[in-house]
Amino acid sequence: MLRTLYSRLALTLFVLLCVVGLALVFLVRDTSALYQQEVAQKLNRSLAAHIVAEQALISDDEVDSEALEHLFHLLMVINPSIELYLLDREGRVLAFSAPEGKVRRARVDLRPVRRFLAGEARFPLAGDDPRDRGRRKVFSAARIPAEGPLQGYLYIILGSEKYDSIVQSLQGSYILRASSWVLAVAIGIALLLGLLVFSRLTRRLAGLSSAMQAYAADAASAPLPCSDGPEQGDEIDRLRSCFSHMVGRIEHQVQELERMDGQRRELVANISHDLRTPMTTLQGYIETLLMKGDDLSAAQKTEYLHIALGHARRLSQLITELFELAKLDACETVLYAEPFSLAELVQDVVQKYRLRAGEAGIRLQADVGGGVPMVHGDIAMMQRVLENLIDNALRHTPAGGHVSVGLLPVGDRVTVRVEDSGSGIPAPELERIFERFHRAGDNRDGGSPNAGLGLAIVRRILELHGATIQVQSQPDQGTVFSFDMPACHA
């Protein structure tokens, strides 16, 4: 029954309205009673003083019983809502206009009386009710006599028991009924308006909930919630916008996962081919040596062993690259960044490849120049980047070509360029050459295509350094790889 937000809000509103309505009824009842008491006390403020001025009720500490009896009878006929009490100097009750046995107090607290007479009181001011030990009522009081030595006090209660009973009956018969009807009508109107407002407010939330449930049940065919509203709206607008962005991100990630899954399948096929080829060749030469070892000359055996060793090295290099790329992707490789001389590193790496370049008839040079600042990074990883780029350039550059590695300081960064005059890269493949699963179909020596892990490793290392590698190439005109490193200025 209360499973929806709308029903819970409606119940909460109803309960709050009832509580507030009942509180208002009691508040109105109490404030109206105080209002009546204040009005009565202000209207009869000088009543006791007028009576004392007309008749001397106490003379020489003796009560004028005849005058007092006449006064009690006269006032009870004219105004039965008051009660008269004659008090001595200490507040003891000397006489009263009430039946015998009704007066419960023998003494009245004079502190409210003195405040009343001093004019310092804030109305309504209540004093002791002689007929009830636990009740206090508004009153009028005057000293006896008005001037001269104090003989006592005239103390008039402005709400007799008869008056109280009439007021209570009227409250029970009129005020409460009227208040109940007013409360019921007010609660009904407020509840109706509240339900309309809640319905309008929760309509969008219900629509969003339905869209979420539909998307959870069938994400492929579920309509997306509209996110055209302002993102700076209320919480529901922001929730709808966040859900729309979340759905878009989920779909993008799903597409990426599907693409990665396709690439993974392609990788498995490519790696299987790259592993199978050297392993098959290696196995073939070893079996030939075992079966025809006695019939082969020493030169043939040496040739077969060199071929087998070359395939074994190629197999080892491929496995090493696979493990290296897996560690980079899993963030298991720790980046030890420190300032180092990129110029010296380039010179060392170029010197390492000069022999291989010379044997292939390729001119390899380092265009470093002077004034190149130190850079901040992991020197071992940056050496790996340069080695992969130079190795890639040498493999795709024919004899008679050239490969150069240049450094160019630009502002607070140093640009690294690896340029070759090789076969170049077709435009459709430029966007995929850094994918770890992409197969490059051409190389300089006409060997079998490889899985392209070298460039994938380069991109991942540079990403860890916060750098981005760029490539420019045209078929048969060469290729340029470039990236920036942050410089360290003293």
- pLDDT bracket for residue 345 (50, 70, 90): very high
Split at pLDDT 50, 70, 90, the class of 2 is: low
Max mean pLDDT range (163-167, 186-190, 280-284, 381-385): 381-385
Q: How confident is the model at residue 406 (pLDDT cuts 50, 70, 90)?
A: very high
- Across the range 414-436, mean pLDDT stands at 84
- Residue % of the chain over a pLDDT of 90: 16
Euclidean distance between CA atoms 484 and 414, whole angstroms: 5
Percent of the chain with pLDDT over 70: 83
Return the pLDDT at 482: 94
Give phi and psi for 361, each to the nearest 5. 75, 30
Higher pLDDT, 104 or 363: 363
Picking from 462, 426, 454, the residue whose alpha carbon sits closest to that of residue 442 is 426
pLDDT at 231: 53
Q: Greater confidence, 29 or 248?
A: 248
CA 342 to chain CA centroid, nearest Å: 45
pLDDT for the residue numbered 334: 64
How big is the CA angle at 350 (ends 382 and 338), to the nearest 5 degrees? 25
pLDDT for residue 153 is more than 70: yes
Which domains does the chain possess? 45-157 (3.30.450), 235-326 (1.10.287.130), 334-488 (3.30.565.10)
Q: Tell me the average pLDDT across 12-22.
A: 82
Structure tokens at 270: 């490519």
275 vs 93, higher pLDDT: 93
- If one compares 343 and 178, the residue with the highest pLDDT of the two is 343
E strands present in 267-396: 338-340, 363-367, 374-377
| pLDDT band at 419; cut points 50, 70, 90 | very high
pTM: 0.46
Q: Report which of residues 346 and 202 the model is more confident about.
A: 346
pLDDT-based confidence at residue 447 (cuts at 50, 70, 90): very low
Q: What is the pLDDT of residue 449?
A: 44
pLDDT of residue 273 exceeding 70? no
Looking at every residue in the chain, the average pLDDT score rounds to 80
354: CB partners within 8 A, 6+ apart:
364
Which pLDDT score is estimated for 448?
A: 41
Maximum Cα–Cα distance across the chain: 163
Instruction: Determine the distance from the C-alpha atom of residue 204 to the mean position of all C-alpha atoms in its chain, rounded to a whole number.
Output: 21
101: left (phi over 0), alpha (psi -120 to 50) or beta: left
pLDDT level of residue 415 (50, 70, 90 thresholds): very high
* Residue that wins the pLDDT comparison between 150 and 453: 150
- Highest-confidence segment of 146-160, 167-181, 366-380, 389-403: 389-403
Distances from the Cα of 71 to the Cα of 49, 68, 76, 97, 100, angstroms: 14, 5, 8, 9, 17
329: part of which helix (H) or strand (E)? helix 298-329
User: Picking from 181-190, 324-333, 397-406, 481-490, which range would have the lowest pLDDT averaged per residue?
Assistant: 324-333
CA 419 to CA 429: how far, in whole Å?
18
Condensed to tens digits (0 to 9), the pLDDT of residues 76-129 reads 667 777 888 888 888 898 888 777 777 888 899 999 998 988 887 788 888 998
Tell me the pLDDT tens digit for each residue of 207-262. 778 888 887 777 655 555 555 555 556 777 778 888 888 888 888 888 888 887 87
**pLDDT at position 124, please?**
87
Residue 173 pLDDT > 60, yes or no?
A: no
Per DSSP, the three-state class of 404 is strand
- Examine the pLDDT at 436 and tell me if it is beyond 90: no
340 vs 76: which has the higher pLDDT:
340
pLDDT at res. 86: 86
